[in-house]
Amino acid sequence: MGLHGGGYDSRYFDAPGSSLLSRAAAAGFPALALTRPGHPADEESARRQPSFAEAAVIIAEAIADAWQQLGDGRPGVVLLGHSIGGAIAVHIATARTLTWPLLGLTVSGVGDVISPRAQCSTVRTGRWTTGR
């Protein structure tokens, strides 16, 4: 189950030519991606944006529905969260009320350490750059 970051929607995991969803299906692993609550973030939905914990509850319920429909004969669900979706996936993974089997958690695009190369670039220019 793919959970996208802040500037994206579920299509993040279905990019033409490099779709994670298509590649997983071709390998025999059904994969889904959800658009997180409040996205795409137009002005109205941005005002109603749930907290990470609230979004985790909503998404866990959606996964439960998907599990009921698609989970028969499968061992469980792996959460793949990118950026803010990763933070929400961690909230989901730590919940004690899941009604579906969680097999794993993988997170990308998060961290609290800036590489030395990026730090030098930021200090030198006063703005974020690619470091090139």
Residue 60 neighbours by CB distance under 10 Å: 22
Quick one: which of 103, 100, 78 has its CA closest to 24? 78
Cα distance between residue 72 and residue 40, in whole Å? 31
**For 4-57, what is each residue's pLDDT tens digit?**
998 888 999 999 999 999 999 999 988 999 998 877 656 776 677 888 999 999
Average pLDDT estimate for 73-100: 95
Cα distance between residue 110 and residue 71, in whole Å? 29
The whole-number pLDDT of residue 130 equals 42
The whole-number pLDDT of residue 62 equals 95
Task: Name the strand (E) or helix (H) holding 80.
Answer: strand 77-82
**For 107-126, what is each residue's pLDDT tens digit?**
998 776 666 765 654 444 44
Query: Given its phi and psi angles, is residue 5 left (phi above 0), alpha (psi -120 to 50 degrees) or beta?
Result: beta
pTM of the full structure: 0.78
**For 42-66, what is each residue's pLDDT tens digit?**
677 667 788 899 999 999 999 999 9
